């Protein structure tokens, strides 16, 4: 079986980055929108350099109160400014530490919104345009933002979720549902291997839908994230 490339969203206040870093190939670092601070970002970047993990930015709606998990109505210009401020915040730290910005991945509601909303996708791509000469975009297969990015010539890496169930529309099952998150390590491995080798995903409704994935996100706040990562490393 090909190597499973795992990424994690880090710098979100859980302080478990040192435990996760040995098992992942890339990380997306919260840069102030939904979580994160200079001290936290500096520490995560240093850990990533130590473990030779690619560093990426994880911008979101500026909504720390709701952890970026609710859609926020904003004027396009205001959203563009917020995203760029977040990217510049992390980019300055990366430059200070001698690290490179490898990728950009939206967080939470922004990630979900621009997957289906062409206007949100266009705004996000405009916001990140100054950074895409060096960084690729992590985005879900079949999403509006991935399609638009490819048309613009922006590098896209297809991301799927190792520990989340999917709907028949290839969107994530809402976290309000009990079956949204997968915690069993064997079920996660089966989920990932099917997407990686068979290029399809079994949805929560039991259908098999085509999908492509180059990297798999495992959420750092999964209750047994370290155990899952160790298991995937041993069985891949």
pLDDT tens-digit profile of 68-116? Answer: 999 999 999 999 999 999 999 999 999 999 999 999 999 999 999 999 9
This prediction's pTM: 0.96
CATH number of the domain at 144, please: 3.20.20.370
Of 1-10, 22-31, 34-43, 178-187, where does mean pLDDT reach its minimum?
Answer: 1-10
Residue 137 lies in a domain: yes
Of residues 41 and 2, which shows the higher confidence score?
Answer: 41
Residue 130 lies in a domain: yes
Give the domain extent around 195.
6-235
pLDDT, position 234 = 87
Residue 1 lies in a domain: no
How many folded domains does the chain comprise? 1
How confident is residue 223, by pLDDT bands cut at 50, 70 and 90?
A: confident
Residue 179 lies in a domain: yes
Residue 217 lies in a domain: yes
pLDDT, position 71 = 97
Q: DSSP per residue over the chain, as a string?
A: -PPP-EEEEE-SS---HHHHGGG-SEEEEE-SSSS--HHHHHHHHHHHHHHT-EEEEE---S-TTTTT-S-----HHHHHHHHHHHHHHHHHHHHHHT--EEEE---HHHHHHHHH-HHHHHHHHHHHGGGTTT-EEEE-TT-HHHHHHHHHT--EEEEEETTB-B-TTSPBPPTTSTTSB---HHHHHHHHHIIIIISEEE-TTS-EEE---SEEE--TTSTTHHHHHHHHHHH-
Residue 161 lies in a domain: yes
Percent of the chain with pLDDT over 90: 94
How confident is residue 2, by pLDDT bands cut at 50, 70 and 90?
A: low
Residue 17 lies in a domain: yes
pLDDT, position 37 = 97
pLDDT at 1 over 60: no
Reported as a single tens digit per residue, the pLDDT across 116-145 is 999 999 999 999 999 999 999 999 999 999
């Amino acid at each position: 079986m090909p190597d499973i490339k795992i990424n994690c969203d880090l710098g979100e206040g859980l302080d478990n980055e040192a435990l996760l870093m040995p098992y992942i190939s890339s990380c997306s670092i919260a840069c102030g929108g939904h979580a994160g601070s200079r001290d936290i970002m500096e520490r995560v970047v240093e850990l990533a350099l130590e473990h030779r993990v690619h560093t990426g930015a994880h911008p979101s709606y500026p909504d720390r109160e709701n952890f970026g998990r609710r859609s926020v109505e904003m004027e396009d210009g205001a959203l563009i400014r917020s995203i760029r401020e977040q990217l510049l915040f992390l980019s300055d730290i990366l430059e200070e530490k001698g690290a490179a910005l490898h990728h950009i991945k939206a967080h939470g509601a922004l990630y979900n919104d621009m997957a289906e909303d062409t206007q949100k996708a266009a705004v996000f791509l405009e916001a990140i345009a100054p950074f895409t000469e060096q960084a690729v975009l992590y985005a879900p297969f079949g999403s509006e933002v991935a399609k638009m990015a490819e048309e613009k010539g922006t590098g896209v890496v297809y991301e799927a979720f190792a520990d989340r169930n999917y709907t028949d529309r290839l969107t994530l099952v809402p976290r309000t549902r009990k079956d949204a998150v997968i915690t069993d390590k064997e079920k996660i491995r089966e989920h990932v291997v099917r997407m990686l080798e068979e290029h399809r995903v079994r949805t929560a409704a039991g259908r098999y839908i085509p999908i492509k994935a180059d990297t798999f996100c495992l959420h750092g706040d999964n209750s047994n994230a370290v155990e899952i990562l160790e298991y995937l490393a041993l069985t891949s």
